[in-house]
Structure 1
Amino acid sequence: MSDATSLRDHFLISMPHLQDRHFAQTLTYICDHSEYGAMGIIINRPAGILVHDLFEHIELDYSRVAIAPTPVFNGGPVHEDRGFVLHRNDGRKWLSTYAVTAEISLTTSMDILESLAVGEGPEQFLVALGHAGWGPGQLEQEMRDNSWLSCPANSDILFRLPAEERLQAAAASLGVNLQLLTAHAGHA
């Protein structure tokens, strides 16, 4: 798969007719996409817990810094017991980091959470439990089936907008109002 056809560093915008309980009304950031499949993180579905709740659960002391009430996200139905941190690159190295782009990385090692707990982590980050995954050709077929719209990712949408505004903001970047789209797919 060429870089021109890869959806890495793109948003997947679920179409209104997509009824899958894991992906209905979601915005997913694609971290990797190749002939072997695709992997992404849903970025607009809060898990109902905050980052400091996660720190308590994994017994990280965060008492030395004031942590804003930051949600943890349901990143997808794969490996829901694992943590994934999307963050802006700031030059620091973590034990298990994948550079999605020169600007954005995905880290899965505990050292980034330990740094966040003491106020020394990346300034812009998103913590998710689980991820979304597609086998070879699966995402391409779902795109042909009109399950998704895609657009280049935008780090302001990813890190700065409230979760409930992200889906429509990504659609608006394409000039699309999701409320005006029909919930029924059709093919001419």
Structure 2
Amino acid sequence: MSSSSPASPNTIHAPKGLQGHLLIAVPQMLDPRFQKAVILMCQHDDQSAMGFVINQQSEKLNLGSLYETLEIGTPRFCAEQPVFIGGPVDGNRGFVVHSQDHMLPESNPITHEIGLTTSLDILEDISNGTGPSQSIISLGYAGWGGGQLDAEIAANAWLTLPASHELVFECNTDDIWDETYAALGINPAHYTGTAGNA
């Protein structure tokens, strides 16, 4: 995790487009990386879009093992907190999506309830028990070039829903996809649309 990369995730632009929304894979999604994915969109404008898959936990990593990998000691708290696979781009880079009760100077607001931080300092705060009350630690992100995501949405590869604190932080990971469809009033078993390729 660092804040020195020139990549777009460190420069979260003013709210526009789908920032602060959930991007929800349709049942017919063909890309295995995004089947039943729910993505919190953190940036979306004419040049690019990026977000984090919030319902795909790493099978190998938790906060404790991530600390070992980063060689930064042993966390006092939250060692068993899961680490998520945020997407296929830049998989060695870390991000923390979190509640806004603990914002660092370099944190970026995504919605009025949700923030994003790339600094290692927030990991240390979480492991010391002084960080945000709720957080998703993510490796990698999902990214799109200019107009690419808009084209995929137009091709019915994704549904969208405004993000809420409850859906992002309080749903069981295995239930988020179903819960987003329930919030949209759609039964995924009856949803038909063009197959998505992402």
What is residue 51 of structure 2 aligned with on the other side? 40
- Paired AA for residue 185 in structure 1: T
TM-score (ref. length: structure 1): 0.88
- Give the aligned CA root-mean-square deviation in angstroms: 1.9
Cα 1:93–1:35 shift into 2, 3 Å: same
TM (norm. structure 2) is: 0.84
2:47/2:146 contact within 8 Å kept: yes
Look up the match of 2:22: 11
More helix by share: 2
Counterparts of 1:13 and 1:43, CA distance in 2: 11
Query: Distance in 2 between the 1:70 and 1:145 partners?
Result: 36
Match of 2:62 among 41, 46, 50: 50
Aligned residues: 181
Distance in 2 (CA, whole Å) between partners of 1:76 and 1:98 is: 19
Query: Cα 1:152–1:63, aligned 2, differ >3 Å: closer, same or farther?
Result: closer
- 1:177 is aligned with what amino acid? N
SS of structure 2 residue aligned to 1:102? coil
Check whether the contact 1:60–1:117 (CA below 8 A) recurs between aligned residues.
Answer: no
Q: Does residue 185 of the first structure (1) align with residue 194 of the second (2)? A: yes
Taking structure 1 as reference, are residues 81 and 91 closer, same or farther at Cα in structure 2, changes over 3 Å only? closer
C-alpha distance in structure 2 between counterparts of 1:62 and 1:122, whole Å: 19
d(CA) in 2 for partners of 1:109, 1:166: 27
CA distance in structure 2 between the partners assigned to 1:24 and 1:130 by the alignment: 17
1:102 aligns with 2:112: yes
Structure 1: segments with no counterpart, 5+ residues: none
1:87 match: 98
Percent identical residues? 38
Aligned equivalent of 1:69: 80
Residue 38 of structure 2 is aligned with which of 27, 42, 63? 27
- Report the 3-state secondary structure (helix = DSSP H, G, I; strand = E; otherwise coil) of the residue aligned with 1:73: strand
